[in-house]
Structure 1
Amino acid sequence: MPNFTYPDFPLDGLLRTAAVRDPDGTAVRSGDTALTFGELDTLADRVAAWVRRETGGRPGARVGVANVLDPVFAATYYGTVRGGATVVLVNPLIREEGIRHVFAAAEVEVAFVPTATAEVLTKLSGALPRLRTVVVTDAPDGVVPGDAVPLHTALASAPAAPEPGRTDPGAIACVQFTTGTTGRPKGVLLTHRNLVANAKQTALAHRLDCASVTLNHLPLYHVMHLNSAVYAGACQVLCTDPDPLASLAAAAGAGATHYYGLPARLHRLAADGRLAGAGPAPGGPGLTAVLSGGSGLRPEAARDLRDRLGVPVIQGYGMAELSPLTHCQRPDAYRPGKVGQVVPGTECRLVDVDTREPVEVWATGEVQVRGPQLMAGYLGEQAPSRIDEDGWFSTGDVGYLDDDGALRLVDRLADIFKYDNEIVSPSQIEQVLGQDPRVADCIVADWPDEVHGGLVWAGIVLADDPDPGPYPGYGQGTVEGIDVLDVLDSITARANERLATFERIRMAEAIDAVPRTPTGKPERRGLREKLRARAAA
């Protein structure tokens, strides 16, 4: 294991250390609201005192905390673990059945959630017998659904400070559910050590320090960004405006050094015609990097943004089971299309998808990693089935390493399929299709075939009015004014010229929208089920 050390204290020690080091430094800012590290630490103390009283001080009691993009999340997140409980992260964007699954599977007893989620929990009260207290985090007027309690009321009744407790850094600090793109969402058990180690790993990989200002243009508050910034003593600016140009203006106004965005939003930003007229350094003169993760960032979008913003647009890689970061491009070793080298203290290898033997550099295989950020296991599982006896975790992703140890991902193991025993990667074909200006979005999957195994099927969202380029008659209005089948044939033919024989698109259909998860990943599992049903019929 690489030589890598990190603080051996509980997760909330990140905040306590930052508050002692710089109590007056701004920790997090959202709109007109700003909290210093000292104020955030004090607020976490109040949450901890309430949690300890509400749960009876029982170690590991499960407390749901919605990761809304608001300073209140940071206080309830650190306060919950300081109170001796385990945080169960709740995505407030998921629907009723998803919320029911998370609360029931994790046996959540207490929850800090926004009003919309509290309303869902009120409807689900009969199905969640373990849930006894719901605290609403966004009800300043005190109006809350059902028997819920406003946050300010709960904290007003709490003791002045939490009773001191001793938390084992090896204990479970957090339960984070997977996105469920390849099956039912599973609860990932992360220890205090996992999260503290990854906070330092991320801060080092992203080059964060106490002078850094991060702009989070994200739909949710991600613990990676929170923990790494608090570890470094950096200021976090939360941008809730979905408009991409507004986020750049916010970054410039805040003096941001780091801009965090999801690939789906960065793709929209790269395609936004207003960016060309946004003036010099639209993200601000202090911006050093745009960082992305969660799903694939198209290389052409990264290059366009780099050229316009004048800074590297880099991608990282990881997953919930890894706290989450394992790889990240370095600003001085920026190569679009790759996710970079491992973060400090992490090892990576690739194994053949069939033999499971390690493969050489440049050879395609399943990505395996190990390091201090690797989860303790899954909720309800006796032994982590994806971790072998030597500590290697099988990620389910397929890729290859170059001579410098940089990783390029090809696809999910669950998404690839075979045509005449050749591996076909849907995402690779999507990248080729996406370079056609007539394609606004696309998704690729396999159509079952008894002879070849799987035929490439492509669902294509046609652009309304792209630059016609070399396509006469196109770009003169909307797609209703053209022969859609002719356009699909032309798009397919152009893509097939750039694809290997086994990758060629055999079937193409116009679709209204690509099905995606809340994090922007293509939702291929449900699509495949529909294609199989159609093929069987």
Structure 2
Amino acid sequence: MIPNWLLQRAYLSPNKQALSFGKETWTFSEVNSKAQNYARKINAYGLNEGDRIALLGKSNADMVFMIHACIHLGLEIVMLNSRLTRTELEWQIKDSEATAVLVSDDLKLVIPESKIRAILFSEIEQMREIQFDIEDIWDTDRTITIMYTSGTSGLPKGVRQTSGNHTSSAISSVLNLGLDDEDTWLCTMPLFHISGFSILVRSVIYGMKVQLYEKFEASEVAKELMNGSITHISVVSATLDKILREFEDNNAIAHSSFKAMLAGGGPVPVGYLERAEKCRIPILQTYGMTETSSQTATLSASDSMRKVGSAGKPLFFNQIKIKDTSTPLQSGEVYIRGPHVTPGYIGHFASENPLVNGWLPTGDIGYLDEDGYLYIVDRRSDLIISGGENIYPAEIENVLLGHSKVIEAGVCGIDDEKWGSIPVAFVVINENVMDLELQHYCEERLARYKVPKHFYYVNELPRNASNKLLRRKLKDMLDLS
């Protein structure tokens, strides 16, 4: 059994600062009051405990209140990515079988027309309140959120994340990081991502303040690190580089009260670690995924240079093993076990069991060294990580194959100084086509970060005897295209 996070926190420390956004600040009591007010208004729409809704909004204070309102009401929340196209959102909304979509007014135009109700935040604000009893105790298997992650088949998977998953993740993290009454986590990660949402969960479980930014601004973030107003922040390599440039341009160092920068979304380049050390910014490299409700392993700042390239050791409740290996340094698929691992998917993949004998196969190839530190060799063999965003080639290939002039398509990632990696496409065509035409075609159907940055026209794609596309050989074709 798990206590209602916000209800319990508002009871334990009602006057402690919980959230700041812009120039406004709210205590836990005030956040709870706002959330309950919204919950009673959402209840007036006939949405009840156990119903599944989709939520689309920007990373601002209203979104925080709306998230907690839906949790109070007992709704399963499908967290929609505001960066997706109407086509992508339409697929996720339909697949999730959500009964309604709650959407901020500034994003209403991206919601596709459908039979599913779209309810604007402004409409909720004006709605009458209908009282209901808020559950103060939850079952551990209660679904709190559903987040879509691209599947290897090219179709996104709706991942269930329960109260037990989120709570275990938060507790494991604090056992690793430690906690102080004055800790403040700067959140520039989108709240629809597990990286951003997990910060909100930590806040109500720890009693920790969140300083929320709607979007990442390197200069503003750097100022926060310099002036001592925050103690923690989560980043990816691309945003870390921008922060470091601000420090270097100002010949500055982080305030002595700053404790840790969690870096996810792929390994941090050694050069970045060395630059961060000069700026006195402690970097904790992490490894996790949507199916594990954020972190599974984290490398301590003290080990960052001693264990360069490692994602660290599993957090307290978590276990990691390498499939079919018996000794250190042997590479194989990374398997994960723990209370933070999803119980399953919804929609198209509802019948798929994510576990094998209790372990989650990640698809990532890695190894454990003699001291038990995890190293990732390859991120799901074909996965492209661009600026912290996961991109699966199959999804892009499926879109390109819908173009009338494209016969075959293969996508891989190439190194990029700014984003770490970017997608490029190899296509076999049946008549001449301009890059711009393919680019526009993809932009109408894919989020911008998924659109190939280059198109290469080839006579054939590398395939094996079973006619399966060999994506690992696409890079070898760059010198020939």
Aligned to 2:66, which of 71, 76, 85? 76
Q: Tell me, in whole angstroms, the C-alpha distance in 2 between the residues paired with 1:315 and 1:241.
A: 22
Which residue of structure 2 aligns with residue 262 of structure 1? 236
CA contact (8 A) 2:185 2:230 kept: yes
1:50 Cα offset (Å): 2.6
Tell me which residue corresponds to 2:219: 245
* Aligned mates of 1:412, 1:52 — CA distance in 2: 42
Alignment of 1:84-123 (within 5 A): 84-121=74-111
Residue 227 (1) aligns with residue 182 (2):
no
State the 1:72 CA deviation: 2.0
Residue 145 of structure 1 corresponds to: none
Shift of 1:460: 6.3
> How far is 1:326 from its partner?
0.7
Deviations 1:172-206 (Å, cap 9, x if unpaired)?
A: 22111114576211101122211122121222233
**2:36 aligns to what?**
45
1:5-38 Cα deviation digits (max 9, x unpaired): xxx325xx12122211211111111111211111
The separation in 1 between residues aligned to 2:448 and 2:179, in whole angstroms, is 24
Q: Distance in 2 between matches of 1:46 and 1:198?
A: 28
Alpha-carbon shift at residue 367 of structure 1 (Å) = 0.4
Query: Does structure 2 conserve the Cα–Cα contact (< 8 Å) formed by 1:257 and 1:289?
Result: yes
Structure 2 residue 101 is the aligned partner of structure 1 residue 134: no
SS in 1 for 2:32: helix
Correspondence 1:152 to 2:125:
yes
Judge conservation of contact 1:52–1:85 (CA < 8 Å) in 2.
Answer: no
1:392-411 mapped onto 2 (5 Å cutoff): 392-411=359-378
Q: Which residue in 2 is equivalent to 1:140?
A: none
Residue 217 to residue 254, structure 1, CA distance change in 2 (3 Å): farther
Shift of 1:379: 0.7
Note if contact 2:292-2:342 (Cα within 8 Å) is conserved in structure 1: yes
CA contact (8 A) 1:29 1:236 kept: yes
Residue 337 (structure 1) aligns with: 309
1:172 maps to 2:172 = no
- Residues 302 and 314, structure 1, Cα contact 8 Å, conserved in 2: no
- Counterpart amino acid of residue 251 in structure 1: L
Deviation by residue 1:210-259 (Cα, 9 ceiling, x = unmatched)? 32111123344611111112211111112345331221113344621112
1:494 corresponds in structure 2 to: none
State how far apart, in whole Å, the 2-side matches of 1:277 and 1:286 are: 21
1:239–1:250 contact (8 Å) kept in structure 2: no
Any conservation in 1 of the 2:365–2:381 contact (CA below 8 Å)? no
Residue 305, structure 1, aligned to residue 298, structure 2: no
**Is the partner of 1:250 in helix, strand or coil?**
helix
Letter in 2 for 1:134: I
Q: What displacement does 1:368 show?
A: 0.2
Distance 2:371 2:225 in 1: 33
| CA displacement, residues 442-463 of structure 1 (integer Å, 9 cap, x when unaligned) | xx99xxxxxxxxxx99856689
Structure 1 CA distance, aligned partners of 2:316 and 2:41? 37
Q: 1:382 to 1:239 in 2, by over 3 A?
A: closer
- Could you report, residue by residue, the CA deviation over 1:512-537 in whole angstroms, capped at 9, with x for unpaired residues? x9x999797x889x989977956699
Give the match for residue 62 of structure 1: 52
Equivalent position of 1:195 in the other structure: 166
CA 1:167–1:233 in structure 2 vs 1: closer, same or farther (change >3 Å)? closer
Distance 1:18 1:67, change over 3 A: farther
Per the TM alignment, residue 120 of structure 1 is displaced from its structure 2 partner at its CA by: 1.9
* Whole-angstrom distance in 1 between the partners of 2:456 and 2:205: 44
Aligned residues: 413
Provide the rounded CA distance (Å) in 2 between the counterparts of 1:207 and 1:216: 18
1:210 aligns with 2:181: yes
Tell me by how many angstroms 1:360 deviates.
2.0
Structure 1 unaligned blocks of 5 or more: 1-7, 137-148, 352-356, 417-425, 431-443, 446-455, 464-512
Structure 2 match to 1:423: none
Change (3 A) 1:63 1:403: same
Residue aligning to 1:386: 354
Give yes or no for the alignment of 1:360 onto 2:327. yes
> In the aligned structure 2, how far is the partner of 1:209 from the partner of 1:294?
26
Residues 83 and 219 (structure 1), Cα distance of their counterparts in 2 relative to 1, 3 Å cut: closer
Q: Is the 8 A contact 1:109 1:133 kept in 2?
A: no
What residue in structure 1 maps to residue 406 of structure 2? none
CA 43–32 in structure 1, closer or farther in 2 if over 3 Å, else same: same
Task: Give 5+ residue unaligned stretches, structure 2.
Answer: 387-392, 395-410, 419-438, 464-480
Distance 1:88-1:163 versus aligned 2 partners, 3 A rule: same
> Residues 248 and 186 (structure 1 numbering): CA distance in 2 closer, same or farther, change over 3 Å?
same
| CA separation of 1:211 and 1:117: change in aligned 2, threshold 3 A | same
Deviations 1:44-73 (A, max 9, x none): 11222233332352x321122236321222
Q: Deviations over 1:123-160 (max 9, x none)?
A: x22xx31x224123xxxxxxxxxxxx444213xx223x
Q: CA 1:367/1:164 → structure 2, altered by over 3 Å: closer, same or farther?
A: same
Within 1, Cα distance between the matches of 2:35 and 2:8?
A: 13
Aligned to 2:337: 370
Which residue number corresponds to residue 327 of structure 1? 297
> Within 2, Cα distance between the matches of 1:519 and 1:258?
29
Q: Is the 8 A contact 1:314 1:336 kept in 2?
A: no
